Structure 1
């Protein structure tokens, strides 16, 4: 019988900062525009967290039935380890997507109905990352999905449902958050290059190779730093405090560039997630105060 601890582990709680960060950043931009609506921010957080958990369960299910997780280096997977049946994990994924859809419908009903289409695309993209007959995550497009949906869409969407107008600062914040969210996936796929190659999973890391994937990780950290400057230029120069995220981001970047492999890359994932959360906190705080 699958324990509650197994289900919590399967939800991959260490990835949840990547769901919290865009909502913090987007709400900071909304607050700077004197348009923060806290109950909408809370609902946006529910949407983001539920989508993240849904993606994690969906990936667990799809990779598990394909046998990709049979020889896994990273954290335990429910289907791959046999801790839960594929059907149960699939049901958990769609339950999480359902929660995201309900919260999203409330936001759409109180903002603009075309947001329903955006939400539907998010759910479809989340499922087909590793689901379906030709998952795009197996074609090297996972980083694109993460950048677009957990960066641009999440941040801009959070701002829009509160401000109900376009804000350039939201775009810049989305780029910064998206870059660090991508860096998490890049580090994950860098670790899994050997097993993914054997399983036929052609991630971007497999396509680029070990060395270029490490440079890509470092480049994404630099993009996140540049995005802080762009947000500050569009809002308040106090937002440059966000550059302090580099204190947390530099050590994992050194580990990646230094040649860390296998289990040694697992702490890099947690550190990169913490860097993303710190980026959002340090950028949003000055915007809230200003």
Structure 2
């Protein structure tokens, strides 16, 4: 791989930093729960963050590779893809995907070894889900199951798992936080797939947005925002009302919902993707900060 600025920029784009809030947010929320439960373990929180980041970057590269070799990125509206654009050889992108997924696995083994070995099964399932989202002979991302996987692994598993490795318990607080974060992670994917409905239909990529259609996808996005708000209230009820600092994200939510409701399409939805990522991150920061303040 050349070290020229243009190539470096392409590889950074391949890691899609716009999606990284989906990796950071669940760890923040789960750690906030751990602090409130008086179970904070800083090095386990850092390991959990490493796992989440590695898997998020790994799945981004895996999707780039798999969609690229299938030819489904040929008419892409969104950010540049490495394989689909022809700028980077498929083998290099595949190697990057497998490398980051392996790194996530190694960090996960360290967490399992210091907590409980059944976490290895959860980690193996997460890695398999990351690869088979768009990879393999029958990718589930092409069968309207992408949002289910995101909610499960970047919501429930990531938040509850982060809290569990520190406190070794699963409670209402971690469950509520996980539902809220999972709903917002799904919202990012819904906005992305809403933008891509026309091109995905052409190449036979049957995402949930394609199944629900334009109007249904816009309603689903709004529902996910409402679910996240309700989850923050639930978390506050069972912990501290300071957890309602999650609503610091409300202006971002309102702006994103307004654009979604306006009927924006194509490149007009790229701003919604940005706002959705920031929304999840601010929500997690507010929730975590509230839980920390409430524990003092």
Q: After TM superposition, is the score higher than 0.5?
A: yes
Structure 1 distance, partners of 2:290, 2:231, is 15
User: Is the CA contact (8 Å cut-off) linking 2:245 and 2:289 kept in structure 1?
Assistant: no
1:62-112 CA-to-partner distances (Å, cap 9, x unmatched) read: 000000000110000000001111111000000001110111111000000
**Map of 1:215 onto structure 2:** 219
Q: In the alignment, which of 234, 237, 247 is matched to residue 238 of structure 2?
A: 234
**Map of 1:287 onto structure 2:** 291
**Map of 1:260 onto structure 2:** 264
Residues 1:87 and 2:91 are matched in the alignment: yes
Q: In the alignment, which of 102, 105, 109 is matched to residue 106 of structure 2?
A: 102
1:120-170 CA-to-partner distances (Å, cap 9, x unmatched) read: 000000000000111000000000000000000000000000001122110
Residues 1:147 and 2:159 are matched in the alignment: no
User: Is the CA contact (8 Å cut-off) linking 2:73 and 2:84 kept in structure 1?
Assistant: yes
The CA deviation at 1:243 is 1.7
Alignment of 1:32-51 (within 5 A): 32-51=36-55
Alignment of 1:179-190 (within 5 A): 179-190=183-194
Count of aligned residue pairs for this structure pair: 290
2:170 counterpart SS class: coil
The CA deviation at 1:249 is 1.1
Structure 1 distance, partners of 2:251, 2:286, is 12
Alignment of 1:236-251 (within 5 A): 236-251=240-255
State the superposition RMSD in angstroms: 0.7
Structure 1 distance, partners of 2:245, 2:131, is 37
Structure 1 runs not aligned, ≥5 long: none
Residues 1:271 and 2:275 are matched in the alignment: yes
Structure 1 distance, partners of 2:105, 2:235, is 30
Q: In the alignment, which of 131, 148, 164 is matched to residue 168 of structure 2?
A: 164
Residues 1:138 and 2:142 are matched in the alignment: yes
**Map of 2:122 onto structure 1:** 118
Residues 1:202 and 2:210 are matched in the alignment: no
